[in-house]
Structure 1
Amino acid sequence: MKHNGNRLSAVIGAAAAAVVMLTTTTAHATPADDHPATREALKTFQAAAGPGAAVHAGDSAGSWTLSAGTGTINTTKPIQSDEHFRIGSQTKTFTAATVLQLVDEGKVSLDTSIDTYLPGIVTGNGYDGTRITVRHLLQHTGGIAAYDPLASIALVEPDGTYKPATLVKEGLKRAPVSAPGAGFTYSNTNYLILGMLIEKVTGTQVHEAVTRRIIEPLGLTGTVFPAPGDRTLPAPAVGGYHGARIGPFYFWSPVLSYDPSLFSAAGAVVSTLEDLGTFYGALTAGRVVSPAALAEREKVRDLNGAGYGLGITKVALSCGGEAWGHNGAVPGYLTETMVTKDGRHAAVMTNAYLATNPPLRQLTTLLDAALCEGRP
């Protein structure tokens, strides 16, 4: 499921576009090329997506990876399941899990106002932080307007980083879209505020708190919540691109470097397909937060048949049942991971985010195929 808040409509900077003839690519499977429905769905997705795409999927019996296209333009270099990329708004699930751990510890209450923890932060322009709760922020139901951090590139600090408080203040310049609790509006501002909440309660920067509480205990060695100022992608990495597809041609150029603090708790994390499957699987299996917190996480707001809980989405599968996960988009990448409670998992990425006609339908079809193939 894709929300307006994820649809980043621009990329940072400008660069000369390279023109390359689109060629037919073949999906590569590991260990065996025996997932025909998923392979065809991957080809369809990649044909409408970036230079390359990959899916890493499986169940309790094992995992497999299919790749189409290339991770580096003008080469034949299939994307691998252990390569690093920016996961965009899948970061929100890491942030939400950290907040829920604080709830488990009695340090935060879901139905307490954000003004109790961060007095004076959510105020002005029609906003009243005494009426917007932590739950509202986690579920995008506080009435805070949709906000794209890319609109605030000019708010950079002298050291090249961004302050969450500055970004939140800018985001709140957009007037409320509803009364708290009355509607759903996906907004990055909600999670920038939650990042500030984590910092206030834990006394550490949000990247440190998420690392110590989520990433390290789960052994996610391919996952990094970068500190402000750290623009590097760990090796091995998949480079991100921007551009467009026009008929049989595509136009790609590398995304220029930007500081991850521009997205912070809303979208800064770097990970791999393998780690994302592990993280969402552990979270859904109850190995990250308590059963009570997990139950709260799964109280979804209905969105035309799908649902959004506390930093997590729920979707129905064509083979029956439901899957839980999140998607993400930042300059250079479109990603999504979904898991089921019986241990199936599927993580997908492509190394470009197309602002015009992003292949969201094809992405949904691919995930469904990977989770359902071979089931009755």
Structure 2
Amino acid sequence: MRIRLRRTAAAATVLVSCLLLGSVPAAGAGTDAETDAGSAAAGRYGELDAYVRERMEATGVPGLGYAVVGPDGPLHRRTWGTDGRGDPVDGRTPFLWGSVAKPVAATAVMVLVQEGRLGLDDRVADHLPAFRFGGPGHASRVTVRHLLNQTAGIPASAVGAVDCTDPDCPPPAGRLGALDGVRPLGPPGTAYAYSSANYLVLAAVVEAVTGRTYAEHVREAVFDPAGMDGAIAGRDEAAERGLAPGHLPLWGVPAPVADGVDDGGAAYGYTGGGLDDLAAFAAFQLREGRTADGEEVLTPESVRLMREEGRLSPDGEGTGYGLGWRVGGLDAPLDGAVWHTGAAPGYSGMLFLMPDGERALVVEQNMHGLLQDEAVMQVGFGAARILAGGEAPEEAGAALHHSVVWGTTALAVLMIAAAVRSAVLVVRPPGVRARRRAGAAVLWGVAGALPGLGLAALVGVMGARLPMTWVPDAWAALVTAASAGALVVVLRCVLLFRPSGAGPTASPGRRTPPG
């Protein structure tokens, strides 16, 4: 009831604003692609608008666009807010879509399969001799199908070894060596693990088969047939289209600081474009792989295979993943949906092919925080449920983000204070007994070492790039805490090993507290 009341109030607010102002410049102008929908459709879209705006305001997302899409294109479209340069967001404003790139990449691969240039059961090593993941025995059994349905045995954490946004990053094939030392989860086809590294390898396969860059192939095979005229799949295209920095929450405040594009990562997370481009891809999928003129790009068999849930054995447990698509896994009324979500640093995207097969919902936002993923992504899941005739879920909070970010920040402040106090004691050591001084030095030395040990453990598990890129505020706080803690250890060691008689002593009749 509380959510329903909030949604009603938000709808009233939006309606009054539109009547009085015509648009909302501070939040960007809303755009609507529908012409004369019935009152029922208008009411449903009004409810969607109100819910999306409510979630946008709750999470502080600076810019957002969403559309309800039919086979012929958008039925309803709205954009609000500004991009990372402060310009109003519209249907052509480029965003990154994160892992929504995967169904795009899978479509590009299936085009090669249909042309007979690639087989789903081809061994990856036959196309990429440098692919040695898991050793020769394991690598020789990994097929293209295993990569597409995420059953090659590559763990999720492996993306940290292949993701690269520096200008001089190697192409996909040049990163295969980073997987050599990664331990497989099991023989190919026996374990499902969602890992973007699978699609990095697929990009290398595409380039080996076509002799062109992945970006060139995906434009010819998918972008152009689907009418995605403004889509981007690389750093140069991003620059040409004017991709603005995405936003990362820094201590709860969205900051336009995410401006890296992985030039070789378009297949797994760095494809993007405007809302119109994402809607065009959704309409292409609703037409089951046909162009707007009816030309067949994907065969019915390809479409079926892509949207069929994979299984670890003929009668085994389903994986919830097809060939580039998430299949099912959502509560009714979305239990029959085919969908994908994704995030790139500073951006997020969502695409739902609704269970009725006649509509899709697409959402793109120019903010994402790894620790706020549930709260930021809820806008798409909730809107899809409303579109399907259900109720939006309970509001997702940001408790994890607050506890981690503010916890590490408090730790950093404590270690800085401890370092300052230790420095004062080194300059003016208190006149206390050596045993008491030694006990304090040991305790503070252990406390100062703990942030550094935590940082080392985090880097050992995830590497430095992922937390630095995805949670920069918590990362900066933890690095600060570790650095200040290390200084505390050094200063306390100086105090511990300094002769007890060194330095000035306390005045008679006064007791100086231990440090």
- Name the SS of the counterpart of 1:281 in structure 2: helix
Aligned pair partner of 1:286 in 279, 289, 308 = 289
Question: Is 2:321 the counterpart of 1:312?
Answer: no
Change (3 A) 1:37 1:178: farther
Q: Which moved more, 1:90-99 or 1:304-313?
A: 304-313
Aligned pair partner of 2:247 in 238, 241, 245 = 241
Partner of 1:13: none
Partner of 2:383: 366
Q: Is the 8 A contact 2:165 2:260 kept in 1?
A: no
Question: Is 2:258 the counterpart of 1:253?
Answer: no
The alpha-carbon deviation at position 191 of structure 1 amounts to: 0.6
- Residues 125-140 of structure 1: pairs in structure 2 closer than 5 A: 128-140=138-150
Question: Is 2:338 the counterpart of 1:324?
Answer: yes
Q: Is the 8 A contact 1:149 1:167 kept in 2?
A: no
Q: Is the 8 A contact 2:138 2:188 kept in 1?
A: no
Change (3 A) 1:295 1:175: same
Question: Is 2:299 the counterpart of 1:299?
Answer: no
Bigger fraction of residues in helix: 2
Change (3 A) 1:58 1:107: closer
Partner of 1:52: 63
Q: Is the 8 A contact 2:348 2:367 kept in 1?
A: yes
Q: Is the 8 A contact 2:341 2:351 kept in 1?
A: yes
Q: Is the 8 A contact 2:149 2:323 kept in 1?
A: yes
Partner of 2:171: 163
Deviations 1:242-299 (A, max 9, x none): 1156xxxx41221243243252321221212222122133134232311121121122
Q: Is the 8 A contact 1:45 1:366 kept in 2?
A: no
TM-score (norm 2): 0.59
- Name the SS of the counterpart of 1:322 in structure 2: coil
Bigger fraction of residues in strand: 1
Partner of 1:8: none
Change (3 A) 1:44 1:126: farther
Question: Is 2:199 the counterpart of 1:191?
Answer: yes
Q: Is the 8 A contact 1:280 1:325 kept in 2?
A: no
Q: Is the 8 A contact 1:56 1:81 kept in 2?
A: no
Change (3 A) 1:53 1:94: same
- Name the SS of the counterpart of 1:260 in structure 2: coil
- Report the Cα distance in structure 2 between the residues aligned to 1:155 and 1:238, rounded to whole angstroms: 15
Q: Is the 8 A contact 1:49 1:354 kept in 2?
A: no
- Report the Cα distance in structure 2 between the residues aligned to 1:353 and 1:320, rounded to whole angstroms: 24
Aligned CA RMSD, in angstroms, stands at 3.3
Q: Is the 8 A contact 1:244 1:354 kept in 2?
A: no
Larger RCO (CA under 8 A, 6+ residues apart): 1
Change (3 A) 1:330 1:148: farther
- Report the Cα distance in structure 1 between the residues aligned to 2:261 and 2:27, rounded to whole angstroms: 33
Q: Is the 8 A contact 1:114 1:134 kept in 2?
A: yes
- Name the SS of the counterpart of 1:170 in structure 2: helix
- Name the SS of the counterpart of 1:335 in structure 2: strand
In structure 1, list runs of 5 or more residues that go unmatched.
1-23
The alpha-carbon deviation at position 209 of structure 1 amounts to: 0.7
- Equivalent residue letter for 2:241: P
Partner of 2:32: 30
- Report the Cα distance in structure 1 between the residues aligned to 2:227 and 2:135, rounded to whole angstroms: 43
Q: Is the 8 A contact 1:38 1:373 kept in 2?
A: no
- Equivalent residue letter for 2:343: A
Partner of 1:357: 372
Question: Is 2:279 the counterpart of 1:277?
Answer: yes
Q: Is the 8 A contact 1:283 1:289 kept in 2?
A: no
- Report the Cα distance in structure 2 between the residues aligned to 1:277 and 1:230, rounded to whole angstroms: 19
- Report the Cα distance in structure 1 between the residues aligned to 2:379 and 2:208, rounded to whole angstroms: 40
Partner of 1:16: none
Partner of 2:496: none
Give the greater-gyration-radius structure (CA).
Answer: 2
Q: Is the 8 A contact 2:131 2:139 kept in 1?
A: yes
Q: Is the 8 A contact 2:210 2:217 kept in 1?
A: yes
Aligned pair partner of 1:339 in 349, 353, 371 = 353
Partner of 2:107: 97
Q: Which moved more, 1:322-331 or 1:254-263?
A: 254-263
Question: Is 2:55 the counterpart of 1:42?
Answer: no
- Report the Cα distance in structure 1 between the residues aligned to 2:302 and 2:122, rounded to whole angstroms: 15
Question: Is 2:269 the counterpart of 1:267?
Answer: yes
Partner of 2:402: none
- Equivalent residue letter for 1:301: G
TM-score (norm 1): 0.79
The alpha-carbon deviation at position 336 of structure 1 amounts to: 0.6
- Equivalent residue letter for 2:289: G
Q: Which moved more, 1:277-286 or 1:318-327?
A: 318-327
- Name the SS of the counterpart of 1:232 in structure 2: helix
The alpha-carbon deviation at position 161 of structure 1 amounts to: 3.4
The alpha-carbon deviation at position 172 of structure 1 amounts to: 4.3
Q: Is the 8 A contact 2:28 2:88 kept in 1?
A: no
The alpha-carbon deviation at position 187 of structure 1 amounts to: 0.9
Partner of 2:404: none
- Name the SS of the counterpart of 2:267 in structure 1: helix
Partner of 2:469: none
